[in-house]
Structure 1
Amino acid sequence: MTRGLIVNPLSGKASGKGLELAALLKEHPQIIVRVLANFSQLNPFIAEMAEAGVTDLFISSGDGTVQAIQTEIAERYAPKFLPRLSLLPHGTTNMTAADLGFRNRDVKVQADFIANRQPRVMVTRPTLRVANPRDGRVRHGMFLGTGAVWQATVFCQDVVHGTGLKGEFATFATLASAVAKALFTRANPHDTQRIDRPYPIKLMQDRAAVVDGEHLMLLATTLDKLILGTKPFWGGKNGPIRVSTFPYPVPSITRWLLPLMYGGEGRRVPQGARSVSGRVFEIATSTPFVIDGEFFETPADGPLRVETGPEFAYICG
C-alpha cells in the first residue's frame, strides 16, 4: 500500500497545519508528500502518484483544491487510477470535508493515521460533474449554487474574510447579515448590492422545466449536508444529485428559515419552493455560479449541464 499527501499551504490563510503535517511525514518511505507552490504542479503530482500506484490520497486544503484534484483524477485518470480520498479540513472553507472529511482535526493524529492506521469509517459519493462552464473546462465538485448563493459568496470572500473570520464562522456572519437586512429593511429587487433580490433561473430535468422565472437562489449537491449542517432538500432522494430552488419575493424569514434549512424530507415549505433529485439537470441563468467556493460563468450558447460524476470513496477515520 502506498499513500499520498497533497498540501496546499495557502489554504486557510496559511494556517500552517498542512506544512506541519508534511514535515511529520516527509521521511516516510511509503508516503509521497507533495506541497503545492502553484496549481501548475497539480497534474504532475497526480501523474506521479498514479504511476506509483497510490491507493489512498490525503488532501490538506479547502474546498477549491479538493474540487481541482477530483477534476484532474476524474477527467484524466479514472477509472484506471481512482484512489480513496481523505479530506483534511485545513482550508478557509471546508464544506465538503464537513460531510465527507477526516473526523479528527489534530495534525499529529492525522499524521499517525496516514503512517500507521487502516480506515474504519468510509463513505462513497459521486461528484457533481459540471460539463460546460463558459471557459470550456469540465469541473468535478460537490456543491453548485447560483442566484443569492453567488452574491453571498462574493460578500463572504470580499467582506467577511477580511475581518479574519473563516469557515463556518464566516458563513454564519454572511447569513446573519443577509437575514438582518431582509428583516429590517424594505425589499428592493433593483438593488444589485443586496443578496436577497430576484435572479432569473430556469431549471430543467428530462427536458422539462421544473421552475422558470425569478427566484432567490438555486442549490445543487451530492453532499448529505451543507455548511452549518443545513439540509435544504426535501421530498425524497430518488437520484444522487439534489437540487432546490427558493422563491422571490422572499417568504417570511421568521416562519420559514429553520424549516427550509433543517426540516425533514416531509417538511412544509413556502409556495414556490421546489426540491428535486436525479442524475442530470440543466440550469439556464445569466447569473454567475459557484462550485465549492470558486466562481464561474454560465455558457454563452445554452444552459449549464450538471451531471452525476464518478463515485469516490472517502476515508473519514
Structure 2
Amino acid sequence: MSGAAASPARHIGLIINPQAGKASGKGTALAAKLARDHNISIRTLQRFGDLGQILDGLARDGVTDLFISSGDGTIQEILTEIAERKMFRQTPRLCLLPHGTTNLSANDIGFRGRSTEAEAAFIRNPAASGTAIRHTIRCANPGDGKARHGMFVGTGAVAEATRYCQQAFNQRGVRGQWAVARTLLAALRKHLLGKPANDDESRFDRPFAITVDAGGQRLAEGPQLLQMSTTLDKLALNARPFWGGKTGPIRTTVLPYPVPSVLRWTIPVMYGAENRRAPAGAVSFCGERLEVSSKTVFVIDGEFFAPPRAPLLLETGPAFSFLTG
C-alpha cells in the first residue's frame, strides 16, 4: 500500500532593499528577526548592479518562494530580471512586502499583515497562503532600449502626477496612499480654481499628444489627458478606473482633453462598475498588446523613462504567482 506523495521541498528567499521607504528600516528589522533561520536565503540589495548576481545565487539555492522587501521600483527590476533572463528552473512564487515609498503593486497583490512579527511568521510558513496570479506588462522598446516588466504603465498627466507626488510629498516623508490622496486633491483644487494654458508645464491637467492603437484599430488620437495600462485589479486609493469587461490581461484607459467636469466624473471614473457611464471621448479596453505614442515621459511602477522614437509596444508578459497571506 503506497503512502501519499510527499509535497515538494520548498526553500525561502528574501531580498531586502535597505533604502526602500527612505531607509525606513522595515526590511532590516525583518532580516534581524530571521537571521537565525538558516533555511532562509537572505540577500541585501546594496546596489542595483548586484541584483543579477543576487538572483543567480538564489536560483542556485533552489528558492521556490521569493519575498521582496521594497517598493515598486525594486519589484519592477526583479520582475524584469526573472522574466528576461529566466535564471530559475521553475519561476518562484513571489510575495511583495509593502516597505517602499510607493507600494502600488503590493497594495493589490502583496502580503496583508503589516507588523514585522506577522511578516516573519508568514515567511517561515507560507504553505497555507492565498495566491493571486498576475501577468506583467512587458515594455518592449522604451527610450533607452531596455525591455522592462511591470504592473502599471502610463503617460501624460499620470506620469506628471507621479513625478509631482514623488517631489512634493515622498521626498518630504509622506508616503503611500496618503501621498496619492494629497496629490489628487491638489490637482482637483488647482483645476477648479482655474483652467491652465496649454503650454503651462506647472500643471499636469493639460493636453498631451497621445495615440493608442490596439487590435488593428486606432482607439485614441490627438490631445488627451492621460493613458494608463495595468494588469492589477485595483490602483492607488483602491480605484478601478477601467470598464467594459475584463476580457484580456492588460486593462487600458485613455481620458480625453479638454478635461471633463471633475465634479461630475471623478468618482464614476475611479469607482464605477464595469457598465458605468463614461465621459465623452474616454476609452477603456482590454487586450494582450497595444502601442502608445507620446512625447511625454512614461512611468512604469514609479520609475520614469523617455518615450521611444517609434510607438511604445506594451505586450503581455509572463504570469507570476503572488502570495497574499
TM-score by length of 2: 0.95
Indicate how the Cα distance of structure 1 residues 157 and 86 shifts in structure 2: closer, same or farther if over 3 A, else same: same
With 78-87 and 22-31 compared, the bigger mean Cα shift is at 78-87
Q: Distance in 1 between matches of 2:20 and 2:245?
A: 35
Distance in 2, matches of 1:76 and 1:313, equals: 18
For 1:304, the equivalent position in structure 2 comes to 312
SS of aligned partner of 1:192: coil
> Shift of the alpha carbon at 1:283?
0.4
Residue among 297, 302, 310 paired with 1:293 = 302
1:140 aligns with 149
Q: Is the 8 A contact 1:119 1:316 kept in 2?
A: no
TM-superposed deviation, 1:161: 2.0
CA distance in 1, matches of 2:146, 2:169: 29
Deviations 1:49-75 (A, max 9, x none): 111110000000000000100100000
Unaligned 5+ residue runs, structure 1? none
**How much does 1:40 deviate?**
1.1
For structure 2, the residue ranges without an aligned partner over 5 or more in a row are: 1-9
Q: Secondary structure at the match of 1:277?
A: strand
Counterpart residue type for residue 164 of structure 1: G
- The answer on whether the counterparts of 2:139 and 2:315 sit within 8 Å (CA) in structure 1 is yes
Tell me the residue number matched to 2:158.
149
Instruction: Name which of 160, 176, 182 aligns with 1:173.
Output: 182
Deviations 1:195-242 (CA, angstroms, capped at 9, x unpaired):
100000000012321111110000100000000100000011111000
What RMSD, in angstroms, separates the aligned Cα atoms of the two structures? Answer: 1.1
**1:67-78 alignment to 2 at 5 Å?**
67-77=76-86
The alpha carbon displacement at 1:164 in A equals 2.2
Cα distance between partner residues in 2 of 1:146 and 1:160: 20
Range 197-206 or range 152-161, more displaced: 152-161
Residues 70-90 of structure 1, C-alpha deviations (whole Å, 9 max, x = no match): 100000016733100000000
What SS class does the counterpart of residue 307 from structure 2 fall into?
Answer: coil
CA contact (8 A) 1:63 1:96 kept: yes
* Residue of structure 2 in register with 1:257 after alignment: 266
**Is the contact made by 2:209 and 2:222 (CA closer than 8 Å) also made in structure 1?**
yes
Asked if 1:267 is matched to 2:261, the reply is: no
1:120 aligned partner: 129
* Counterparts of residues 84-233 of structure 1 (less than 5 Å): 84-233=93-242
Q: 1:26 deviation in Å?
A: 2.0
Say whether residues 1:25 and 2:34 are aligned partners: yes
1:314 to 308, 322, 325: 322
Q: CA deviation at 1:305?
A: 0.2
Which amino acid is 1:116 matched to?
N
- Asked whether the equivalents of residues 154 and 299 of structure 2 are also in contact (C-alpha less than 8 Å), the reply is yes
Aligned to 2:49: 40
Deviation at 1:190, TM superposition (A): 1.9
Distance in 1, Cα, partners of 2:105 & 2:54: 22
